[in-house]
Structure 1
Amino acid sequence: MVLLACWIAPALFVAGVSQQSSLPVDTLFGRWMHDTGWAGALVTLGFSGTWALPLLTSIVAGDIFTSEDRLGTWRHLLVVVRSPRRIFAAKALCSLTVLFTMVAGLAISSSLAGILVVGNNPLIGLDGHTLSAGDAAVRVLLAWACVLAPTLALAGLGLLGSVLFGRSPMGLLLPAVVAFAMQLALLLPLPVAVRLALPGSAFLSWNGLFTDPAQLGPILTGVGVSLVWAVVATALAYAAFARRDFSGTGHDTAGRRALTVGLAPIAALLVVGVAAVAPYSSISDGGITQAKVNRSVSTAFAHLYRLQTTQLHRPAVTEQQLRVTSACNRGGGKLTPEGAGNDWRCVVSWRLPGSTAVGQAIYQLDLHPDGRYMADGDGPKQVNGYFLVRTDDGDTPNPLWQFDANVDLLSTSS
């Protein structure tokens, strides 16, 4: 039933939301669900990384060994198969196959529904530039592929918990508990090295695929860390399974073994991960600086200004001709301009070709610790102060009113 839901529910969700007048604009790419079918697949991906995939790994990998304890079938299974190694490999591959099928269902179902209901149209990236339909399709596929790595990490933890805790429900809950704990941690202003050493960061870093150039540093680091976690957790699960005594009906040493075989190695892995990532990040703070915010806002505004120019049938202009600059600060200049917060304010300036006048627009930013932010236009009205612009074809959503963008946490250029 869960497998079937993974192949049906995303299509129903995307088709239903795409027909609504009110869109989930607080969700990444949600504001574009009326314009392109690929936005629905990315909204589904964001929800899956937060809720669906952790729960699915608990249901599948977290229960794969526990079910034998509940049914009391270990001794019978060992007599029939006679090889603990074969049993472990079969169960691990079984859970992996089911999880991959579920992830494929989520991706394919949401993508097809979006294309059929809305259309195979271009997508606006996280820096305001327009991706062609073909480019959007490739990047959406890569984004879904990126979240397979942290899913494997949670699956490895699920196998470990299922082996260690026996009949206890903790084995079933372990992947979900760890995933939600990492999500809470990633909401904090952690140093970049600590953030990227958590496999949960890969559930967020796929955002970097939708900038130009792509922000590959956090993506590759997050995927690599997740794969290491998956291998180590699975190896620990096999070591615990190989040493387990199946002659009795109980599993009384689960608590002590969970500390020695599970918790301690995973904690050591986190410490090693932080030490390994730190030299490559070359940043000891959260990675969000004033220079990076200025550059990101300027880039996104320039791209989206061109889009608005096309909507209004004005003379074409390039980003180089606009010479957009941004001056961003926090708390009206009273706070240090770095780190996450909803008190960022930016004044964007630009010049049109052949004009000496300087245009200006104001934005209020809500900037998250992972580098993603939403810029909310605060005037002037004819530029970004209203959510619609009047065109020859009628009222159209104003791309400069609100937009989502991303700060590259690993970038060190000013």
Structure 2
Amino acid sequence: MAPADFPQHILRYRNQRAAQTVGLGGLSDTEWLDHFGRFHPLEGSFPKPLALRYHGHQFQNYNPDLGDGRGFLFAQLLDEKDRLLDLATKGSGQTPWSRQGDGRLTLKGGVREVLATTMLEALGVDTSKSFSLIETGESLHRGDEPSPTRSAVLVRLSHSHIRIGTFQRQAHLQDVDALSRLTAHVIEHYYPDCARETMAASAAALLEAVCARVAETGAKWIAAGFVHGVLNTDNINLTGESFDYGPWRFLPHYDPGFAAAYFDQTGLYAFGRQPDVLAWNLTRLAECLLPLGEQADLERALNTYFPAFQRALPTAFLARLGLVSEGAEADAALLETLFKFMASSKAPYEQVLFDWRGGMESAARAAKSPIAELYQSDAFAPVRARLVAFTPAPRLNLDNSYFKRAQPRTMLIDEVEAIWAPIAADDDWCGFEKALTEIADMGRAYGHMP
């Protein structure tokens, strides 16, 4: 693979914190542009980038004509925990899988991905990291935003870019040997605890482990009020990280039917349907593994997904609220009353979780909230009654300046557009930089960022 030769390279975002974890924090800006704008190889990694081929169900319709159409795997390296990580691109030019696309990324799309990943990381979601964003000086034409528009190339840091769709391709081709080698590779590098004496047992163990990771990520999306938007099988990664951000949104208020993508006209990937869609996608992975394993064992492994999700959801919300579990029954009851209140009141989703950080420990703070009146309503009374029984978790950080704010940092669609508008009009990046500073403050307050 050869990257595009861009006419311009302007560094717009450099994730120095992530760079430090993979030994690249000492790069000068010139070296950074050479590696992540011109794609000069990193020492010790690939001499040339790789475009990966995969298949996938897109809106649950099978498509064998997929692959890295505007990106490639640029490098692999180890982080400070000796985990194998990928540096992969978005907008780096055409590949054999571009399907007549230009292989480019709009600058707005890059800005949106930086905002999504940093926000999710701050809220405790396991996500790919936006590593670098470089404006590349081309004019792009797109049907879904004003054109011509500015171009960029993004580099993301992720644990893996092996997708359910990667397995689907080998299964579709009926290449059992390749499927076996792919499974062994994933177990060796990402799930070593799943290695068993036989491939059949290893495949079942891998499926169960992937189900657990995906369930945890899905639960954290719900706790973050996040809607991914396009949960195709090629957008679900074997290591369970949230990645591949397109028309994402955060909820303004609790609404199970809220869809992120304008083209999701049936609401297939709506907020409240995400757990079920993840299960559907995992079922496709289980089907891929049938040539390697026993059907009964794979079904058993697949059936661990919903119990895992049901455990992960209260855990994710208690983490957001900074509360200690009082047992499965009490945890579930709190969550049920909280959802009922948010559904009936239409209270701002993030505001409620922000106001009640630490449960009754924050009662006085919640009484000063912009939506304090809602907390005096009959609808909130069952939530308050449940909260009384919960113990605040250690290290709540309520003395952090972030919790002195009247309103939390949010990233609703209007806020994203307000960040982009001055960039588009005047090349004014102040709003973008301010948002990132506030997100980092939030991440430190919640204990998810150093």
Normalising by structure 1, report the TM-score: 0.27
Higher normalized contact order (CA 8 Å, seq sep 6+, divided by chain length): 1
Which one has a bigger Cα radius of gyration? 1
* Greater fraction of residues in helix: 1
